[in-house]
Chain A
Amino acid sequence: MPNEEMAQFLGVFLDEATEQLELLEKDILALETGASPDLLQEIFRAAHTLKGSSRAMGYTSMGELTHAMEDVFDKLRKDEIGVSTAIIDALFDSLDLLKRLLEEISATGNSTIDTSVQTENLRALLNGVAQSETHDAIQADTGRGVFQHAPLSETARVALQEAVNSGLQVRRLTVRIADDCVMKSVRALMVLQSLETVGSILATTPEEEAIENEEFAESFGLVLATDQPPELLRKTVLSTAEIVDVIISDPEAFPEPTAVAVPQSSATDAPAEPVTIAQTEPSPSQTNRENPPASADSPAPSRNGTPQAQTIRVDVLRLDKLLNLVGELVIDQTRIGQVSNQLIHKYAGDELLENLVEAASHFARITGEMQEEIMKARMLPIDNVFNRFPRMIRDIAQKMGKEIEFVVSGRETELDRSVIEVIGDPLIHLLRNSVDHGIEMPEERVKKGKERKGTVWLRARHEENHIVIEVEDDGNGIDPEKLKASAVNKGIITAETAARMSDKEAVNLIFASGFSTAKTVSDISGRGVGMDIVKSNLTRFGAIIDVETKVGQGSKFTIKLPLTLAIIRGLLVRLASGVYVTPLASVQETMKIDRDQIHTINQREMILHRGMGLPLLRLQKLFYADVINDPLETGETETDPESLYVVVVGVAERRVGLIVDSLLGEQEIVIKSLGKFIGDIRGISGATILGDGHIALILDINGLLTIALEEKAKAYVS
């Protein structure tokens, strides 16, 4: 294959191979819990596809390995061997190697990784369990000229029936290759290939893989469904060099044709009808509505009739660009809407302007729909992230000697690509944590009167404008007292603070930085990535994480994610220094308070709100403390107006009231980064362009909460 052509196919190959690997992984996991004929069939097919495509691309070592895997699946499928841990492990081992191979191929275009160890391993397993296994069909082919065709498999018979029903002739061919031919398998494959152009091959003797491996003497057989006359078939076969002879026999030779599992009774006698069927118009009795006669341009009816979804692959960068453009459009649309509204107020009754307003509102609707459609195009089912977890859980559990049932639900929940990209790592950590720290050892569980097998749940679902993901286990739970003690030990909090903490607050200590309750740093979790990193990673893109736990009964981590990271609804507020956006997701309420309601406790301003102390944050002062010449004591109550606007924002249990100059209303905004030059600013997560072209900064609520609740009075000094 020429190089350019190869490069073109490489992308497709990699995409497909990755899909097949994912499928294999899922299926092998399922296999471990129980085999079913459908499952085995699916696995076999996946391995077979993978083998075929890797060989076609010239990655021989990959082909070898997948071939060995395929053989294993074949034996499993035929019930010649049973599922065992050794086999599953060997298969997973091979799968991992295949993944590495694909990575290498995708990076360099070549495969250099040696697969012989895994291949041998699989082969050894096969030989160990089925030493006596040989190809019956091949043995039958020892005597020259006395070629025995293998009986048709169930699938081949169904295919045959379908072919006959659609008016094709079915022929059995016996092809003999010259004695002195050096590479018989190549010749044989060439014959098969050339026949595929004139018909559809239903079965071969021996099987195609065996032919590829040259596991036949000088003859091989095949069953072909075709609409071409025998002379042409003969010519086609003999056009390949070193083919000595071909015998084309009538389908009458087929044994047991009636056993076919096709319901139409009229069709059962069809295989006995020779050549004539196709030449003449099929009689009405042989035609049925489901299977109209095949026309000349479709010689081989598709073997699986399931309609394929009409999809194309699109570069994600292109989608990203489209989304950006629509983002710009939304901004312009808002602007046009504003201007036309202002105009109509100024010149009410002007017909031209009414036209403009009408067009503007239509424009707004179209833009909105367009935005929605593009957002949808970027949506992926969360299974894209979830599908790697079952394997991970299995591996960890096995390593630690724990028994775990992993229950996943809501795989089909769709969310934006941008969210998919960032959610993986935090989930890995949470799941590892559940297996490592949550679920107890089997004996311990039995002692506690629990089931021996622990359960870890992973759930995803839509909830209003959010995606909720839960990681739950029925393990040990988190002991707040232990956490407190540990936090005091590590100097994260003082003993005094610990004593005052509620259980809920104490449990939240696991998110404090520098905290890890595991006594030893195990291989599984505690590899330097603590829950604090998980939390900060999540909160950076607007997600909220919460934990509920009951000692001895288990823990549940709940993550609330925005549907997309690109567009949010926000509440616009005005400060002296400009307009700011508060993400609506974290706004609890807004209110107007009297300045007399503000109390100063420990140099911090608070109000009593719903029976609780609510700390207040003066944004203007917080952001520009150094610019304002006021002394650093709290409150500038003297200069305050009679009443103040407060936006109560909160995440989980934490609340803070932001004092702002005025409230400007809600709006959908497109999030833009402030860029690398400005970098990360505590309390600001980005910017957006408003309808009037002005820029508004987006408040980072988590950053503000941290400033308000952790740095306490220090925040005012900085």
Chain B
Amino acid sequence: MSTAVLEQEEQLVAFKLGGETYGIPISLVHEIIRCSEITQVPRTADYVRGVINLRGKVVPVLDLRLRLGLPPMEETRTTRIVVVEVENGIIGMIVDAVSEVLRLPMSQIEPPSELVASIETDLIRGVGKRDQDLVILLDIYKTLKVHLE
């Protein structure tokens, strides 16, 4: 056990999308909110759901399912918006559910493989193993990169 303590680890916010568990570094997460009313913005990419009013700030929200090429899903009781802060500003991402905050030792993280072929692999930073489960580490910067149309 003592060696594990010394080992470098990553702290992640884990969430569910289409049956898989995904993780993003906790340091990027601004807050997690319930789905509030989203104002549609016309002439944007299909995965841009619109903007929300986050305590007086206009924050864009994207549907992470659509961004990752997964089929769309109706909003449920567990649907959440994970608000992250990146260089493009504050952005919300709609996920199926937020499961937990977890620590993952670096040794348990592997580069992306064909194992997870359900989404575009270039948006994946790596795959973490935890017991029998896999945690897909999302490359948040690539995911939220501005697409100039």
Name A residues whose Cβ lies closer than 8 Å to a Cβ of B.
328, 331-332, 577-578, 623-624, 672-679, 681-684, 687, 689, 693-697
Question: Is the beta-carbon distance between A684 and B37 smaller than 8 angstroms?
Answer: no
Asked whether any CB of chain A lies closer than 8 Å to the CB of B44, the reply is yes
Inter-chain contacts of A683 with B (CB < 8 A): 42-43
CA distance A697 to B58 in the complex (A): 10
CA distance A696 to B40 in the complex (A): 10
Question: Is the beta-carbon distance between B43 and A695 smaller than 8 angstroms?
Answer: no
Which 4 A-B pairs rank lowest in CB-CB distance, beginning with the nearest? Answer: A623-B42, A695-B39, A676-B88, A672-B58
**Range class of the B interface residue count:** 20 to 34
CA distance A577 to B51 in the complex (A): 13
Question: Is the beta-carbon distance between A694 and B43 smaller than 8 angstroms?
Answer: no
Other-chain residue from B37, B40, B43, B88 in contact with A677 (beta carbon distance below 8 A): B88
Question: Is the beta-carbon distance between B44 and A695 smaller than 8 angstroms?
Answer: no
Q: In the complex, what residue of chain A is closest to B91 when comparing beta carbons? A: A677
CA distance A630 to B117 in the complex (A): 37
Asked whether any CB of chain A lies closer than 8 Å to the CB of B144, the reply is yes
Other-chain residue from A328, A623, A695 in contact with B51 (beta carbon distance below 8 A): A695
CB proximity of B45 to chain A, nearest CB, Å: 9
Question: Is the beta-carbon distance between A694 and B37 smaller than 8 angstroms?
Answer: yes
Inter-chain contacts of B53 with A (CB < 8 A): 689, 693-695
Inter-chain contacts of A681 with B (CB < 8 A): 41-44
Inter-chain contacts of B52 with A (CB < 8 A): 695
Inter-chain contacts of B51 with A (CB < 8 A): 674, 678, 687, 695
Asked whether any CB of chain A lies closer than 8 Å to the CB of B19, the reply is no
CA distance A292 to B96 in the complex (A): 82
CA distance A677 to B41 in the complex (A): 12
| Mask of B113-149 contacts with A, CB within 8 angstroms, 1/0 | 0000000000000000000000000000000101011
Other-chain residue from A577, A672, A676 in contact with B42 (beta carbon distance below 8 A): A577
CB proximity of B24 to chain A, nearest CB, Å: 16
CA distance A687 to B51 in the complex (A): 9
CB proximity of B67 to chain A, nearest CB, Å: 11
A577-B40, A577-B42, A695-B51 known, 12 other contacts, Cβ within 8 Å: A578-B39, A578-B40, A672-B57, A674-B51, A677-B88, A681-B43, A682-B43, A687-B58, A689-B58, A694-B37, A695-B52, A696-B39
CA distance A328 to B39 in the complex (A): 19
Question: Is the beta-carbon distance between A689 and B56 smaller than 8 angstroms?
Answer: yes
Q: In the complex, what residue of chain A is closest to B39 when comparing beta carbons? A: A695
Q: In the complex, what residue of chain B is closest to A672 when comparing beta carbons? A: B58
Given contacts A694-B53, A695-B53, contact A674 B58 (CB under 8 A): yes
CA distance A679 to B147 in the complex (A): 9
Inter-chain contacts of B95 with A (CB < 8 A): none
Question: Is the beta-carbon distance between A679 and B146 smaller than 8 angstroms?
Answer: yes
Given contacts A678-B48, A687-B51, contact A623 B43 (CB under 8 A): yes
CB proximity of A332 to chain B, nearest CB, Å: 8
CA distance A385 to B53 in the complex (A): 37
CB proximity of A708 to chain B, nearest CB, Å: 15
CA distance A679 to B149 in the complex (A): 9
Asked whether any CB of chain A lies closer than 8 Å to the CB of B60, the reply is yes
CA distance A540 to B139 in the complex (A): 34
Question: Is the beta-carbon distance between B58 and A684 smaller than 8 angstroms?
Answer: no
CA distance A697 to B42 in the complex (A): 10
Subset of 24 A-B contacts with CB under 8 Å: A623-B43, A673-B58, A675-B91, A676-B88, A677-B48, A677-B60, A677-B62, A677-B88, A677-B89, A677-B144, A678-B48, A679-B149, A681-B41, A681-B44, A682-B43, A684-B42, A687-B39, A687-B51, A689-B53, A689-B56, A694-B37, A695-B52, A697-B39, A697-B42
CA distance A676 to B44 in the complex (A): 12
Inter-chain contacts of B60 with A (CB < 8 A): 674-675, 677-678
Other-chain residue from A331, A678, A689, A694 in contact with B41 (beta carbon distance below 8 A): A678
Inter-chain contacts of B57 with A (CB < 8 A): 672
CA distance A677 to B146 in the complex (A): 5
Interface residues of B in 52-76 (CB under 8 A from A): 52-53, 56-60, 62
Inter-chain contacts of B91 with A (CB < 8 A): 675, 677
CA distance A689 to B53 in the complex (A): 7
Q: In the complex, what residue of chain B is closest to A576 when comparing beta carbons? A: B40
Question: Is the beta-carbon distance between B39 and A624 smaller than 8 angstroms?
Answer: no
Inter-chain contacts of A674 with B (CB < 8 A): 41, 51, 58, 60
CA distance A624 to B41 in the complex (A): 10
Inter-chain contacts of A687 with B (CB < 8 A): 39, 51, 58
Q: In the complex, what residue of chain A is closest to B92 when comparing beta carbons? A: A677
Inter-chain contacts of A696 with B (CB < 8 A): 39
Listed residue (B37, B42, B56, B60) with the most chain A CB atoms within 10 angstroms of its CB: B42
Inter-chain contacts of A624 with B (CB < 8 A): 42
Inter-chain contacts of A675 with B (CB < 8 A): 58-60, 88-91
Question: Is the beta-carbon distance between B39 and A676 smaller than 8 angstroms?
Answer: no
CB proximity of B18 to chain A, nearest CB, Å: 23
CA distance A401 to B59 in the complex (A): 55
Inter-chain contacts of B41 with A (CB < 8 A): 674, 678, 681, 684, 697
Q: In the complex, what residue of chain B is closest to A329 when comparing beta carbons? A: B56
Inter-chain contacts of A678 with B (CB < 8 A): 41, 44, 48, 51, 60
CA distance A695 to B53 in the complex (A): 7
Interface residues of B in 25-53 (CB under 8 A from A): 37, 39-44, 48, 51-53
Listed residue (A577, A578, A687, A695) with the most chain B CB atoms within 10 angstroms of its CB: A695
Other-chain residue from B48, B58, B144 in contact with A695 (beta carbon distance below 8 A): B58
Inter-chain contacts of B48 with A (CB < 8 A): 677-678
Q: In the complex, what residue of chain B is closest to A575 when comparing beta carbons? A: B42
Question: Is the beta-carbon distance between A694 and B146 smaller than 8 angstroms?
Answer: no
CB proximity of B23 to chain A, nearest CB, Å: 21
Question: Is the beta-carbon distance between A676 and B89 smaller than 8 angstroms?
Answer: yes
CB proximity of A620 to chain B, nearest CB, Å: 9
CA distance A683 to B42 in the complex (A): 9
CA distance A689 to B42 in the complex (A): 17
Question: Is the beta-carbon distance between A676 and B146 smaller than 8 angstroms?
Answer: yes
Q: In the complex, what residue of chain B is closest to A577 when comparing beta carbons? A: B40
Question: Is the beta-carbon distance between B44 and A694 smaller than 8 angstroms?
Answer: no
CA distance A402 to B148 in the complex (A): 45
Inter-chain contacts of A682 with B (CB < 8 A): 43
Inter-chain contacts of B146 with A (CB < 8 A): 676-677, 679
CA distance A673 to B41 in the complex (A): 12
Question: Is the beta-carbon distance between B58 and A679 smaller than 8 angstroms?
Answer: no
CA distance A695 to B55 in the complex (A): 12
Inter-chain contacts of A673 with B (CB < 8 A): 58
Listed residue (A672, A676, A678) with the most chain B CB atoms within 10 angstroms of its CB: A678
Inter-chain contacts of A697 with B (CB < 8 A): 39, 41-42
